[in-house]
Amino acid sequence: MKNYRVAILGCRGRGTAAARAYHAHPRTNIVGLCDLIEERLNTVGDELGVSGRFTDLDEMIRSTAPDIVAIPTGTEFHYDLCMRVLEHGVHIEVEKPMCVDLEQADAVIKKSQDKGVRVAVHHQGRVGAAMQAIGRAFNEGKIGELRYIYGSGKGYYGGYGLMNIGTHMINDILKFGGPCRSVVAQTTTEGHPITPQDVVSSPSGMGTIACEHITATLQFNHNVTGTLLQHRFDRMDSSAYAMELYGSEGRLFWKSGGAWWLPQPHFIPDGTHDEWEALAPIYPEHYDAKKGASEADYWFVEEYVRALDEGREHECSGLEARHVIEIMMGIFESAAYGTCVNLPQERRDHPLLRWRTEAGLAAPEAMPRAYGEWLSTVR
């Protein structure tokens, strides 16, 4: 079986996590690291024993001939780096969200198809050990016919939470709901429906956002609906980040690191009904936690190896990631125009920027990149 050569573009936190996963996997070899700051290069290179260290990505790709280039960088750099790396005709994986709008996402997908290579987006939770357990129980019919899906964020400012952790949650929901047909959103900022003046630049380089509180309804095939909450809390609460599947015969509950099954659809906590049953997480048989890779990142690599072996898309493919962006842009469009938005959209420009232009406003001014500082300046 082929071993895949991997290069890592960016050696900060997410780059280090990706590098550890590719280093730990028996079928992937890291042949190059690239970062503009040599201290980062040397820290990761020394830890993993990688001698190929570069400050120029094109030189790295020419010198190391990788099969896969990982792009775990800031969101505002994704589009340019994806297009530049794809020009070399190599497979890529890119941190979430893939891009900041649909025009960028469309261009990345087209470029990859023109070059005949794959795009994967690092939605590692969708393939992690807890989600593997949920997937197995779902496929075994433990909850019967799917009826409804619920997902929530961690309490970030709504629009930022949508573009940040919401990308993961939507991708997880799509695993079970399939393609989303339409979205409707109810949103507020400071207690009122949003106005064009409430459209702002996102922290963390995630484009243009709005909405302090978002409640979105997603419509899928087979009469399945979903609710996505991205509400700002007074304090962040990671325990709120969870997904629940409601079926005709039971329910499944997921959160990072855990999975549970309730063998009945309508739970009444009166002591006479069965309680939730923990599901055992599922790991690749060769996963070794002692090697330093997180199980979800390792599963992501394992899925990429399997996908390339089989000549298919990664479960967290660029196509799926573009659909995530369609849903997020649909939520913003529904919030702005007060309408149901059918997917996929014919117009691919950013709906919030379009809305501001129609109101005679320019694009929002740049704001602090760090979330805490940004939050202190947004009204």
Domain boundaries for CATH 3.40.50.720 within the chain: 4-122
The mean pLDDT value of the chain amounts to: 96
How many residues would you count in the chain?
379
Q: Would you state the pLDDT for residue 266?
A: 86
Which has more pLDDT, 273 or 129?
A: 129
Residue 270 has pLDDT above 90, yes or no: no
Residue 20 has pLDDT above 80, yes or no: yes
Residue 216 has pLDDT above 80, yes or no: yes
Q: Contact at 8 Å (CB) between 350 and 364? A: no
Which has more pLDDT, 1 or 206?
A: 206
* Mean pLDDT for the stretch of residues 31-38: 97
What is the β-pairing status of strands 180-188 and 341-342?
antiparallel
Q: Summarize pLDDT for 86-125 with one digit per residue, the tens.
A: 999 999 999 999 999 999 999 999 999 999 999 999 999 9
Query: May I ask the CATH architecture of the domain 4-122?
Result: 3-Layer(aba) Sandwich (3.40)
Query: What 3-state class would DSSP assign to 71?
Result: strand
Confidence of residue 181 (pLDDT cuts 50, 70, 90): very high
Query: What 3-state class would DSSP assign to 278?
Result: strand
Amino acid at 127: V
* 300-241-341 Cα angle (round to 5): 85
Q: Summarize pLDDT for 335-347 with one digit per residue, the tens.
A: 999 999 999 999 9
Domain boundaries for CATH 3.30.360.10 within the chain: 127-285+322-372
Residue 230 has pLDDT above 90, yes or no: yes
Domain 127-285+322-372 fold: Dihydrodipicolinate Reductase; domain 2 (3.30.360)
Q: Would you state the pLDDT for residue 269?
A: 77
Give me the residue label for tokens 């006479």.
272
Q: Would you state the pLDDT for residue 314?
A: 98
Q: Would you state the pLDDT for residue 379?
A: 65
Q: Summarize pLDDT for 276-318 with one digit per residue, the tens.
A: 999 999 999 999 999 999 999 999 999 999 999 999 999 999 9
* Mean pLDDT for the stretch of residues 210-239: 97
Residue 377 has pLDDT above 80, yes or no: yes
Q: Which range, of 33-37, 239-243, 263-267, averages the lowest pLDDT?
A: 263-267
Q: Contact at 8 Å (CB) between 261 and 142? A: yes
Strands (E) in the chain, as ranges, are 4-9, 28-34, 53-54, 68-71, 91-94, 119-121, 146-152, 180-188, 200-201, 208-209, 213-220, 225-231, 242-247, 251-255, 258-262, 277-278, 341-342
Q: Which two tokens stand for residue 131?
A: 């989600």
